[in-house]
Structure formats: C-alpha cells, structure tokens
Structure 1
Amino acid sequence: MHNWGMFEWGDLRYLLAVARHGSTLAAARALGVNQSTVHRRLAELERRLGTPLAVRRPTGYQLTEFGSVILPLARSVEDAVIALERQARGAGEAVTGTIRLTCPEPIVGRLTQSGLLDRFHARYPDAHIELLTSDRYLDLSRGEADVALRSGEPEDPHLVGRKVADSFWALYASPEYIARHGAPAGTADLRRHRLVAFDGAMSQHRANVWLASVAPGATIAATNSSVLGVLLAARSGVGLAALPTTIAEGEPGLVEVLPTIPELTRGWYLLTHPDLRRQPRIAAFFAFVFADLAALRAVLMG
C-alpha cells in the first residue's frame, strides 16, 4: 500500500455502497450522487491503496479478494463515524435539533392529524420532528433514522424502547368483489378466491406467509410493495387482501370478510438506538409520548 498520507476515509462509503447494492448505479442512488461519482471515488480509493477492490461481472460488481478482506474494516470505520455523529447531534442539555422519526406510510396521516406532534412542538419549540415514511424498516444502527415506530418484534436486539400498542389485521374486500365472487365462509374457503399480496421488499411479509399457508394455489390477482398499494388494489375489486384494521376500517370501499387474524397480530414498538436514548431531544420525545400513550394508541389502533 502507498500514499497513506493522502488517503480519503470518506471514499470507503463508496466501496461499502457497491458491496451492499451490487452495482454502481444502485450505489449512486443509495448515496444520492451521480453514478460517475461512484466510479471516480472507487477508482481513486483503489489508486490510493494500490490494488483493485471490485471487478465488474455480468451479474454486477464483485469484490476482489483484497476488497473482501478490508470490507469488515470499512464497516468498522462507518460504525465509528455514525456513533460520532450520534453523539454530536445530541451534544448539550437543551431539547433542540431534529428528531428523525420513521413510521409506515399509512400511519403518517393519522399521526399528524392526532395533534400529538403539534403538542410536542409546542412543548419544545426548538425541536423538530422529521417524518421518514417507508414500508421497509430503516436501519437505526446505520443512522438512517433516530426513532422508529414499527409493528413486529424488534429484529435488532441492540435497539431499546417499549411496546406501545397492538397491531391487528383482518381480511377485506370491496363490495363489488363480494357481489361477483361472494365472501369466504372461512380460511378454508380462501383458495377459491382471488388474492392481493405483497411483493418487492415486502414479499416475505407475514401476511404473504399466512396466505400461502391457508390458501396454497390460490390465484394472486395483484401484488404491490406497500400497504397502501395493496389497500387500493383491494378497494378496486381485484381481490381479497389482508390489511391492518386501523386503516382498512376507515375505508368506505372495503368490507371486512374475515375478522382479526391471530397469526398476524403483532405489537407496535417505539424504538431507538441506545447511543441516542439519553440524548435530550430523544429522551424528551420518549417521555412525552409515554405520558400520552392514549393518543398514540388511538393513532395505531383506531
């Protein structure tokens, strides 16, 4: 290796992005830069280190042997930088700064209309809540968000927080679908019906797993990668869909055809990374929410 005095640690993030996403185009999208920037910074990193780090294959980019060796070290650098940023964001005792809250898209409207966030801003005018809406789980350990409101048992054992509500799911269809195909008499009747399922990043969602187990061979009439997309498909009349009762019960174009499904019941959790939990703005937000859980439960459970 050579030119250590000129080594740019920031270039490691381009290597990490290519390793995670498999292509320079996908890496560029993830980093919010041009594809040419990824090519240029990766090439510069290789020049500084004096050896290739990734090679292009028909199926995408593949790390070289040396690239694979240094990848864990690059991740360690990234983890250290993220930890430093967390500490910097939480410096001081005043409740100030931005709290990046991630939650599922269907909840956003109910949360903002509840007045809960407005009351928090009134209590702490120097703090600001930024909503990051996504049907996938943003990685709190990687700094993609500060706080998560999500259903399902926490997959990352390092996150801290508590259960704040329950998440119930039932099966829904439009009145038009029921008029044409009838309503299922029970789960055993589902295999003769047309279903709406999740795809993409949500293809392994528990609703898909449950439908496959109770209705093997059923016709999948439509798929979508978001809860709202599946809801709209069901409302259009193409098929039956498993949906959260909180949002489906408020839809005039949907009818519950099977009641709450125990296999799909989960808890709602408010979570953060332990490095952030004691920082003033995060601690204040958790304390505020826990003091008014009734309002949050009304958002999450109706």
Structure 2
Amino acid sequence: MGPQERAPCAATHTPQSKPIVYDWNDLKVLLAVARHGSTTAAAKALGVNQSTVQRRLLALERCFKRPLVQRHPTGSRLTTLGEQLVPLAEGVEQAALALAHEVERQARDVRGVVRVTCPEPIVHKLAASSVLERFHARYPHLKIEFVMSDRYLDLNQGEVDVALRSGDTEDAALVGRKIGDSLWAIYASAAYLARRGWPERAEDFSQHDWVGLDESLGQHRAALWLKQVAPGAHIVARNNSVLGLAYSAKAGLGLAPLPTPLGDAEPELVRVLGPIPELTRIWRVLTTPELRRTPRVAAFFDFMVEEMQALRPIITG
C-alpha cells in the first residue's frame, strides 16, 4: 500500500481526535437497507448481489465497532445507532450528489475552440451524422473548428489541437486512441469499365489508366502501394486530395484507390477490387500530452472515444 493510500476504517491520528475513515459505498448500503427493509431488497435496488450487501454492512459495523442492523427472518431492522446514523448518511448522500452535479455542470461549461484536422470526406460524413449534434448538446459552449487536409498537420507545432488520422503514426510524443479501421479498395466508373474492361487481379493494373496523388502526398500509402504493384501504371491525372481522386474516378478518367466509406457511398463508382490488405491502417484520435490535459481538448478526445461505435460507419464504412 502506497504512502497516500489509506485502508477503510483507518483512524487519522491527531493530538485532538481520531476520526473514523469509512467507505461512502458502505453508507449507501446502510441507506438501502433502511429504505427497503431487507438485504435482499437492498441488493436489488443497488444492482449488486446479497452477499455484497452483507459484506459491506459488516465492514461498516467493524468500522464503527457497533452493530447497525439486526437480521430477522422477515427482514432487517436497524439498531438504535443505525437509525441515528440514517439522517446523517442522507446528508452525506446529498453532498455526494451535489458534488457530482457540480462536476457535471463544470464539464458542460467547458468553453473555447478545438481545432481538429481530418480529411474533407470525414467532415462531410460527420456533419451528416448525429455525432456532432450530440457533442454540441453536451458542450454547448465548445466550438469545433475543422482544418481539412489530407497531409499530416503538426500537432506539436500548434497547427491544430486534435487529429482524426488514419495511417502510421511516427511521432511517439503524441497520445492517441484507436477509433476504427481504415479500409481502401480500387474503384472506377461504370463508363470507364465499359470502355477499358475490368481488371481481375493486381497484374492487370499496369494495363489501365490511373488517377493518383501528386507530389505533395507522394508518401501517402496509396501512392507508395501503386508504385509497388504497378510501377509502369499510366497516371492520367494527379490530385492533392483523396476527394480529388474520387472526382477524377467519377469522371471516368481511370482507376483510383479510395477509402471504402468514400468509394462505396458514390453511386457512380464501382468497387473493382478490395479491400486491399496492404492499405489497411488504424484510425486514431491524436493529440499532444499537454493538450490532452486541457479541459476543451479532453472533452473532445474523450467524446470521440465514447462515440467509437457511431464513428465506425463513418470512417470504416
């Protein structure tokens, strides 16, 4: 046990007094028995089993060194001391509830701006969902400012506060949580496939036209993968965003690697091949250790983790 820890019912010795240190959870059990008349009913009200109720009552009685409850075949009856403690325990209960309400109020009163970077398609899908609506309902004074970019902005240099990012995270100084998986596949328009045919395997890629990423995103995993599997691929158009890839593919210019939530949502595009295992990565919510401790960033970060199930259709498809 560490120097800051204290066992339940330990006495704090001072020259004036030796106050008893008790567990508030044990007082909850005493109140439940007083209100419901038996350990069985108290256990049901508290959502625990009866043995837990009995164990906590015994711990409280050992703490106070006097019996608090008398057990009878028809139920439980408080002793004189137990009855005298009930109004005091109710005062502790009200104080604990007031503390919880104040913490919740202050959490809702978080103010300021959180600058969040993520690809443009994710912002569109978030806006079309109810995720942001729930966030603003919980934090009405906290504003989200999206910085849409397919390149990795530098959190350590203060370009943004939080990143919703897929791919490899090389900066070990960042803290993050996984919120889903990033899946990619190959897409083309129906018009392109009618004109050039359907590639059935990676070996066919070099015989097709492609739309790719420009030099500003030359290290993107999709760009590196295409160079590896089809080094002689004919690139007919280059874009500085993943959304640009989708537009070019819809125009019938060629094949394009795209995230499955984006490609599958476009009725004009056909999934040709995939998901491609080599392009699968993790989606994370990322920030710096310093910003993680600030109320405004912590509110957004924790909310995104909490909304993981709602985010997965948006980021994974």
TM-score bucket of the superposed structures, by smaller chain: 0.5 to 0.7
Aligned to 1:241: 256
2:152 maps to amino acid? Y
User: Equivalent residues in 2 for 1:131-210 (5 A)?
Assistant: 131-210=146-225
Given that residues 177 and 305 in structure 2 are in contact (C-alpha distance below 8 angstroms), is that contact kept between their aligned partners in structure 1? Answer: no
CA distance, structure 2, for counterparts of residue 253 and residue 115 of structure 1: 26
Query: After the TM superposition, which segments of 4 or more aligned residues of structure 1 sit over 4 Å from their partners?
Result: none
User: Equivalent residues in 2 for 1:29-40 (5 A)?
Assistant: none
Q: For each residue in 1:20-76, what CA deviation from the matched residue of structure 2 results, as whole angstroms up to 9, or x when unmatched?
A: xxxxxxxxxxxxxxxxxxxxxxxxxxxxxxxxxxxxxxxxxxxxxxxxxxxxxxxxx
TM-score (norm 1): 0.68
Aligned to 1:284: 299
CA distance, structure 2, for counterparts of residue 194 and residue 246 of structure 1: 23
CA distance, structure 2, for counterparts of residue 242 and residue 289 of structure 1: 27
Quick check: which has more Rg, 1 or 2?
Answer: 2
CA distance, structure 2, for counterparts of residue 259 and residue 271 of structure 1: 28
Q: For each residue in 1:246-295, what CA deviation from the matched residue of structure 2 results, as whole angstroms up to 9, or x when unmatched?
A: 10001011101112101100000100111110111111222222222111
CA distance, structure 2, for counterparts of residue 226 and residue 135 of structure 1: 6
* CA-atom RMSD in angstroms: 1.4
CA distance, structure 1, for counterparts of residue 190 and residue 124 of structure 2: 25
CA distance, structure 2, for counterparts of residue 154 and residue 98 of structure 1: 25
Displacement of 1:126: 1.4
Aligned to 1:274: 289
Q: 2:227 aligns to what SS in structure 1?
A: helix
Q: For each residue in 1:6-28, what CA deviation from the matched residue of structure 2 results, as whole angstroms up to 9, or x when unmatched?
A: xxxxxxxxxxxxxxxxxxxxxxx
CA distance, structure 2, for counterparts of residue 286 and residue 206 of structure 1: 26
Instruction: Give the aligned length.
Output: 211
Given that residues 198 and 225 in structure 1 are in contact (C-alpha distance below 8 angstroms), is that contact kept between their aligned partners in structure 2? Answer: yes
5+ long unaligned stretches in structure 2: 1-105
Displacement of 1:145: 0.5
1:142 maps to amino acid? Q
User: Equivalent residues in 2 for 1:1-302 (5 A)?
Assistant: 95-302=110-317
Q: 1:213 aligns to what SS in structure 2?
A: helix
Given that residues 203 and 225 in structure 1 are in contact (C-alpha distance below 8 angstroms), is that contact kept between their aligned partners in structure 2? Answer: no
CA distance, structure 1, for counterparts of residue 244 and residue 141 of structure 2: 36
5+ long unaligned stretches in structure 1: 1-91
CA distance, structure 2, for counterparts of residue 261 and residue 190 of structure 1: 13
CA distance, structure 2, for counterparts of residue 98 and residue 277 of structure 1: 14
Given that residues 101 and 145 in structure 1 are in contact (C-alpha distance below 8 angstroms), is that contact kept between their aligned partners in structure 2? Answer: yes
- Identity among equivalent positions (%) equals 55
Displacement of 1:225: 1.0
